[in-house]
Structure 1
């Protein structure tokens, strides 16, 4: 006998209206696209098909199936120690970024490979470029300080020749910098995006994961596992998220004319005050905070620009005709 089933909404309304993951997972359809997912799918205690979200291999395979089923991404895989991101949340960032660009383009989302974005910390998973290229045909430069992560991302790109001309990878050899060395003299981006390291240390990252798992009533045997994997440069850095983003803001001013919008996820709401202070100090002319939601989690990204609002349309038009 199954436990009493909780009522689940038919639509995950907190996700962006264009997000393809607003429906509950259709596991038979996902298995049809990615047969290896079958190994991990079984009825849960309510009698619904699901996977064990505390099993890293199961989450990895679900991501592979989602990317293949909805975005036609072939042979997506990452090393075991790298960050395995929740796809629906990553997709939301891309769609809300598209809306932000539309606000600078008379309400129309710019599409095509002339729309160039810089993904800071592209990682081994390469998710933002894959989704942005698939959904809007944007082109991306993906930067990272880890050569192994870029090697993994490169293998994914090579397996998807329909996207390969839209995604370029660059190794950041100076880990203390973010845009310096990555934005070249002839580069022009409509936006930059980033999923910054959240924590200030490995111990803080582990403590945060343990709190999340405790809230989800995880078993004691799972308490030491990171939900979605991840290594040092992906999960923590000296000073944590706020320090990283403040450094990003400082460097963005040096490239004020080479990107219309600079954006970054801000995981911790308490960091917003420091972010706004840094943006004011660097002279940002417009700042937007875009809220996003996934399940019970509320996230957001902050966007800023050094281009005058009345010049956005002409700036964007010039960038798209280069």
Structure 2
């Protein structure tokens, strides 16, 4: 296995190609999505903002971002399902593009010849939407939740901008990740995943409550009226939502990624780059150890920063230098 390379992202701010690096232009967003208007107000500094502790405000802001930047006019998710921040989802994809470019003489391979696999596509379908609209890539989105798959398919079918770009597959075995999702005749240029972070629903609920409290405190500092999501004896409102499988799994992030690595071995010649987000840096040593044990040829760690939040992508491939050259010549050049 070659030495792990580390690509540093800026300590603060998003990827240079991420269109969400600048402050939100709420006037433009409201033009694209008038439903956003009731959620926008001035804070004590005279800046327009929304209350990020309000789940309805967060969902409508994401709806506006998808409409304004990606020409997706019809997007919605069922109550309680994960509503991810679009800027962070876009960041992961831009770093995937850099990873592919680094394997292709600095040129980002674009268009329908490039196919990605999104593990845990969710009802929001965010990664395939952004990846298809920005780079023209095709996607397969996999999920264990039938409602997520049904909703993602409805979004795809409702937007002509997504036609022919995204397919969805229902994973019927919760223990499987790549198994049964990568078929014998499939070839993927990359796989991506935002794995369940927590190890139990109680842990997920506690984490969400801390997030809401932090957001509320930040809103008060900025002079923005904060949505009060909880009352005594009630569960906290999750500003980004999330069903069980989206938020937690037995063993949490570490266990999920280890299963990913183990199953990637079985599909090692059918995917150029396997990648996953790793939120907890303390999980990295075990991840690197397992990747070495299974014979990964190249392992990369890509650091990302979103405001104060630090995270990273770990990517690995089993393809030899010769196999990588043949892959590029046949699919990207």
TM-score, structure 1 as length reference = 0.93
Separation of aligned partners in 1, 2:285 and 2:11: 30
Instruction: Sort the Cα spacing of 1:91 and 1:278 in 2 relative to 1 into closer, same or farther, 3 A.
Output: same
Cα RMSD between the aligned structures? 1.7
- Who is 1:40 aligned against? 39
- Who is 2:93 aligned against? 94
Residue pairs, 1:161-200, within 5 angstroms: 161-200=160-199
Gaps of 5+ in 2: 1-9, 218-225, 231-235
Residue pairs, 1:92-241, within 5 angstroms: 92-218=91-217, 221-222=228-229, 224-241=236-253
Larger mean CA deviation between 207-216 and 243-252 belongs to: 207-216
Instruction: Sort the Cα spacing of 1:131 and 1:253 in 2 relative to 1 into closer, same or farther, 3 A.
Output: same
Asked if 1:243 is matched to 2:255, the reply is yes
Per-residue Cα deviation, 1:31-65 (whole angstroms, up to 9, x for no partner): 01111110111111222111111110010000000
Q: CA deviation at 1:319?
A: 3.4
Q: CA deviation at 1:270?
A: 1.0
Asked if structure 1 preserves the Cα contact closer than 8 Å seen for 2:12 and 2:306, the reply is no
Three-state SS of the structure 1 residue aligned to 2:52 is coil
Asked if 1:264 is matched to 2:263, the reply is no
Q: CA deviation at 1:208?
A: 1.5
Separation of aligned partners in 1, 2:140 and 2:287: 25
User: Larger RCO: Structure 1 or Structure 2 (Cα < 8 Å, ≥ 6 residues apart)?
Assistant: 2
Asked if structure 2 preserves the Cα contact closer than 8 Å seen for 1:12 and 1:22, the reply is no
Q: CA deviation at 1:320?
A: 4.4
- Who is 1:3 aligned against? none
Q: CA deviation at 1:163?
A: 1.5
Q: CA deviation at 1:215?
A: 3.5
Gaps of 5+ in 1: 1-10
Separation of aligned partners in 2, 1:71 and 1:79: 21
Q: CA deviation at 1:161?
A: 2.1
TM-score, structure 2 as length reference = 0.90
Separation of aligned partners in 2, 1:39 and 1:214: 23
Separation of aligned partners in 1, 2:158 and 2:329: 33
Three-state SS of the structure 1 residue aligned to 2:17 is coil
Residue pairs, 1:65-84, within 5 angstroms: 65-84=64-83
Q: CA deviation at 1:250?
A: 0.2
- Who is 1:299 aligned against? 311
* Matched residues, number: 311
Separation of aligned partners in 2, 1:16 and 1:309: 28
